[in-house]
Structure 1
Amino acid sequence: MDDRERFERGLKIRSEVMGPARIEASLGRASDFDREFQERFITALGWGEIWSRPGLSRQQRSLLNIGMLSALQRIPELKGHIRGAIRNGMTVTEIQEALIQVAGYCGMPAGITAFNAARETLEEMKKNGELKKAG
């Protein structure tokens, strides 16, 4: 597979998970300084190679990302992946349980921060009609 095909595959997966409008905005903000990083590393490598691998479902990948981003306190990325988890079919309850697990293993401050980020994201999704039910 060549670089262009890898990018196209990554763009498709990234758009399906994160939402096409968010990806268009993200790529649209790229400048000469970070365009290669956005296209080659995030989209082609991260999404075109890693997210397309067999062995884990998109829900499982979302769950892993929620845990890792919560532990690392990478809040903007966590919010995006919470949104992606819902788009991948995870439930609000599953996200809550993942964050309780984070609090138990990474500490209550990490759990509090992650819960706050999740609450804000889910409220925004509900307001925008992206979140249909709370289960």
Structure 2
Amino acid sequence: MKDKQKTVGELFDEGLNLRREVLGADYVDGSMEQANDFMMEFQHITTEWCWGYAWGRDTIDRKTRSMLNLAMLTALNRAAEIKLHVRGAVNNGVSVEEIRETLLHATVYCGIPAGLDAFKAANEVLKDMGKVD
């Protein structure tokens, strides 16, 4: 199914709603409120492109997108973003076991150091959320 073309305003509005649902309104609203004029441009592009355009498409479900993000962020060795997206993955119905399998799979292709950092980041968040001991 082909997604219809949306205006920038539609992408922003839909992206902001989706971003809040996945990452949590407190986090997203805090990011928006803390942004000065310089950083607000980044908030707009992230909300429009990442959330309104990519995440807003209906071909791949949110759960799958979350697992893809965790794998890609492992490849990029971005622990801070992994922490954020582990919370989002749980919000999107990804189980602890599925998070572990996603990170194991990514570790094989991305290397042990990247996988270790990803596991440490995910474990920290999952512990904080009460999902693991």
Match of 2:120 in 1: 116
5+ long unaligned stretches in structure 1: none
How far apart are 1:121 and its partner, in Å? 0.8
Give me the TM-score of the superposition, normalised by structure 1.
0.89
Give the aligned length: 127
1:5 pairs with 2:23: no
Give me the TM-score of the superposition, normalised by structure 2.
0.90
> Aligned match of 1:49 in 44, 53, 67?
53
5+ long unaligned stretches in structure 2: 1-5
Superposed CA offset, 1:8-45 (max 9, x none): 10000000000111101111111111101202x10012
How far apart are 1:56 and its partner, in Å? 0.3
> Aligned match of 1:35 in 22, 40, 64?
40
Question: What letter corresponds to residue 57 of structure 2 in structure 1?
Answer: R
How far apart are 1:72 and its partner, in Å? 0.6
Question: What letter corresponds to residue 34 of structure 1 in structure 2?
Answer: M
Match of 2:3 in 1: none
Superposed CA offset, 1:44-87 (max 9, x none): 12101110112100011001000000111111111111110000
Deviating above 6 A after TM superposition, structure 1's stretches of 4 or more consecutive aligned residues are: none
Q: Root-mean-square deviation (CA), in Å?
A: 1.2
1:102 pairs with 2:103: no
The within-5 A match list for 1:8-19 is: 8-19=13-24
Q: 2: CA distance between counterparts of 1:92 and 1:62?
A: 12
The within-5 A match list for 1:69-88 is: 69-88=73-92
How far apart are 1:96 and its partner, in Å? 0.4
